[in-house]
Structure 1
Amino acid sequence: MDRPIIRLVHYRRTVFCFSVPDVCPCCGEALKGARLTDAPVSLPRPLSHAHKTSCSLVIAPAESNPEREFDGTADLHTGISNTRGVVYNYTEGGVVRDAAGWEESVVVPLVRPDMFHLIHRWDEYLERFSHGAQWDPLWTRFDPDDHNCFSFCLDFINVVLDVLGQTPQNRESFTQNYILPRMKRLWKYSAIYRRVEREGCYAVDPDLDQD
């Protein structure tokens, strides 16, 4: 998904393309100089360079997926970035600290920019948490269903919430409120991208074009 998707509206039809076409694919009218309901805009990519982010939950295809694509069926791997973009993630061998490899990820920011005290101590909290016995393979075995990379991330997030005096999240609520909205946006973006790549342009009725 290297090329940006451009969205424009012409005669109440939303058109997606990689570059503005000379004529509307729906009605055949020339678009150069035409009055568009919405001017062409470039849609923001749903994937980010996780090593250029901080204090975030990051999601990427698992290493078992050589294509490293988000297609709605691939196994996903999650981690937590520190203030320098190093991604801490839990594997069968314990906690890994990656300075590379998460360049195409879904990023869920966990800290507001004005939370200076938390940001200042984020790396300390993350490093101390990573040394817990529950993440040491000599003490606790990795389980793909019940004790995995997502368990590591959610447990750390709840440690932070406890420091802030806030209610902890369970797996279901955190997934529904924070992860699924971003994954659905990514899956929709990917579907449009593949359609435009295959057909050149893709047009839909406005009521079907929901962000």
Structure 2
Amino acid sequence: MEEQSERAVIRFTHCQKEIFCFSLPQQCPSCGEELRGSRLQEAPVCIPSPLTNAHKTSCCLLVTPAHDNEDRDFDGTSDLHTGISTTKGVVYNYTRGGVRKDQTGWERCISVPLVRPDMFHLLAQWDQYLDRFSEGPMWDPAWHRFDEDHHNCFSFCLGFINGVLAVEGRSPQSRDTFVQTFILPRMTRVCKYTTLYQHIQGHQYYVVDRQEDTQGDAPVKPVLFQ
């Protein structure tokens, strides 16, 4: 889905249908009526991509397709890779060769904000915590070998998060709880958006019956440290 970052998805309502496309057509693809400003039930809106440039974020957990995924896409079957961003957008991530500190390569990923912007005491120490944690023997290949199931990139991320939670006097997060609460809702949204985008690429439009309440489509944005 290379073009996703270049083309915006637009949603407009007409003839009790919600219509998704890349540009507003001259005629309604559902009923054929000519579209004018007064004919639309509401102004077209842009549907933002759920993917983020990690290097423009701070203090987030990031999820991106693994490097061996040639298309670098979220297709629901490929392996994923995780990392933690510093306050300056450098992504610390654990690999077979140890901890990497990437300043590029995470331009399209799922972002899970971890720290509220007004938590100044934690923001001031975040980079120091992350640097110190990454230098621990647990992440040195000479001491511990990378294992895809039990000692991997997500082990690194969750270990760091639980370390900070301990410093903050908070209970640790289990793997299942963290995934269910913070990652799966965003993964679901990405999969829906990807399916929608690819349908528009192939058919120009995606048309569904209008739903009066669309709040269920809003992204969930829980923050762990608050």
TM-score by length of 1: 0.96
**CA shift at 1:37, angstroms?**
2.7
Aligned to 2:127: 123
What is the one-letter code of the residue matched to 1:15?
I
Aligned to 1:73: 77
What is the one-letter code of the residue matched to 2:15?
Y
Aligned to 1:7: 11
**Superposed counterparts of 1:48-197, under 5 Å:** 48-197=52-201
**CA shift at 1:109, angstroms?**
0.6
Mark the runs of 5 or more structure 2 residues left unpaired by the alignment. 218-226
**CA shift at 1:105, angstroms?**
1.0
User: Following superposition, which runs of at least 4 residues in structure 1 exceed 2 angstroms of deviation?
Assistant: 33-38, 206-210
What is the one-letter code of the residue matched to 1:200?
Q
What is the one-letter code of the residue matched to 2:132?
R
**CA shift at 1:35, angstroms?**
3.1
**CA shift at 1:164, angstroms?**
1.6
For residues 37 and 146 of structure 2, the distance between their equivalents in structure 1, rounded to whole angstroms, comes to 60
For residues 163 and 37 of structure 1, the distance between their equivalents in structure 2, rounded to whole angstroms, comes to 52
> Could you say what secondary structure the match of 1:24 adopts?
coil
Q: How many residues align?
A: 211
> Could you say what secondary structure the match of 1:122 adopts?
helix
- State the Cα deviation string for residues 87-113 of structure 1 (Å, max 9, x = none): 000001111110111011111110000
> Could you say what secondary structure the match of 1:8 adopts?
strand
**CA shift at 1:150, angstroms?**
0.5
For residues 96 and 135 of structure 1, the distance between their equivalents in structure 2, rounded to whole angstroms, comes to 10
Aligned to 2:222: none
**CA shift at 1:157, angstroms?**
0.8
For residues 159 and 41 of structure 2, the distance between their equivalents in structure 1, rounded to whole angstroms, comes to 47
For residues 201 and 31 of structure 1, the distance between their equivalents in structure 2, rounded to whole angstroms, comes to 15
Q: Percent identity?
A: 57
For residues 128 and 100 of structure 1, the distance between their equivalents in structure 2, rounded to whole angstroms, comes to 22
**CA shift at 1:121, angstroms?**
0.2
> Could you say what secondary structure the match of 2:61 adopts?
strand
**CA shift at 1:11, angstroms?**
2.2
